[in-house]
Chains A and B, each alone.
Chain A
Amino acid sequence: AQSVTQLGSHVSVSEGALVLLRCNYSSSVPPYLFWYVQYPNQGLQLLLKYTSAATLVKGINGFEAEFKKSETSFHLTKPSAHMSDAAEYFCAVSAGAGGFKTIFGAGTRLFVKA
């Protein structure tokens, strides 16, 4: 069975600092992995996805994530945080034959300090 674990329910960074949000996955088959962002009172928006092509995946808003099979990790990074990055971030894995069921991590709330 597939699962994801996000380390840290809250992360706080200063504006301009590196953002690092951690995600570890468990999967018995090659995983399809995703990061989503949720702004207050909104739905989730896809940031980026790993689908077994390049291990370094670039997404929207300057975010990127690296798939590391040996560490079963898919951490999300951004070189320089902006105030507008403050939001809830979810790591997710597609489960089941053919997908049809995405399992989400518990989420990490990112705070950005001026």
Chain B
Amino acid sequence: DTAVSQTPKYLVTQMGNDKSIKCEQNLGHDTMYWYKQDSKKFLKIMFSYNNKELIINETVPNRFSPKSPDKAHLNLHINSLELGDSAVYFCASSQEGGQSHGYTFGSGTRLTVV
């Protein structure tokens, strides 16, 4: 039973489209995150939610909108996709801020915008 699961695993779409990525965790954690990993493997935090409340919102274009319907789910909706959005998006979860036990990551969603 996967601890942090993301769907879809691969997403190929055209510029200008709107797409969503879903994430679910069954670890009972209260904090979830979205990270973007670029082609050089650099990881950058996008958002973090604690108990469904937005805690961290980095300088991400407002075309990206996260939604957390409950503690176990964090979805990412992207409007008007651009070529530069192509990356691997990782969902992660932790108990509280993750300082004591680190994060558990999903296996990623590879987004390709053509």
Chain B nearest CB from A18 CB (Å) reads 24
Cβ of A100: which chain B residues have Cβ within 8 Å of it? 31, 48, 50, 55-56, 96-98
Chain B nearest CB from A61 CB (Å) reads 15
Which residue in chain B gives the minimum CB-CB distance to A42?
Answer: B107
Q: What is the size category of the interface that chain B forms with chain A?
A: 20 to 34
Residue tally, chain A, CB below 8 Å to B: 26
User: What is the CA–CA distance of A29 and B23 in the complex, to the nearest angstrom?
Assistant: 32
Which residue in chain A gives the minimum CB-CB distance to B48?
Answer: A100
Convert A38-53 into 0s and 1s, putting 1 for each residue whose CB lies closer than 8 angstroms to a CB of B: 1001111110010100
B38-86 contacts to A, CB under 8 A, are 40-43, 45, 48, 50, 55-56
- In the complex, are the beta carbons of A90 and B50 less than 8 A apart? no
Across the interface, A96 reaches (CB within 8 A) one of B4, B56, B104, B105, namely B56
- In the complex, are the beta carbons of A32 and B99 less than 8 A apart? yes
User: What is the CA–CA distance of A49 and B105 in the complex, to the nearest angstrom?
Assistant: 15
Cβ of B48: which chain A residues have Cβ within 8 Å of it? 100-101
Chain B nearest CB from A63 CB (Å) reads 14
| Binding site secondary structure of chain A | strand
Cβ of B45: which chain A residues have Cβ within 8 Å of it? 101-103
Q: Does A67 contact B (CB under 8 A)?
A: no
Which residue in chain B gives the minimum CB-CB distance to A34?
Answer: B102
9 examples of A-B residue contacts, CB within 8 angstroms: A41-B107, A41-B108, A44-B43, A46-B102, A49-B102, A99-B96, A100-B97, A101-B45, A104-B42
Interface contacts beyond A32-B100, A99-B97: sample of 9 additional A-B pairs, CB < 8 Å, sorted by A: A36-B102, A43-B4, A43-B92, A94-B98, A99-B94, A99-B99, A100-B55, A100-B98, A109-B41
Cβ-closest 3 pairs across A and B:
A99-B97, A43-B105, A99-B99
What is B's interface to A at a CB cutoff of 8 Å? 4, 31, 40-43, 45, 48, 50, 55-56, 90, 92, 94, 96-108
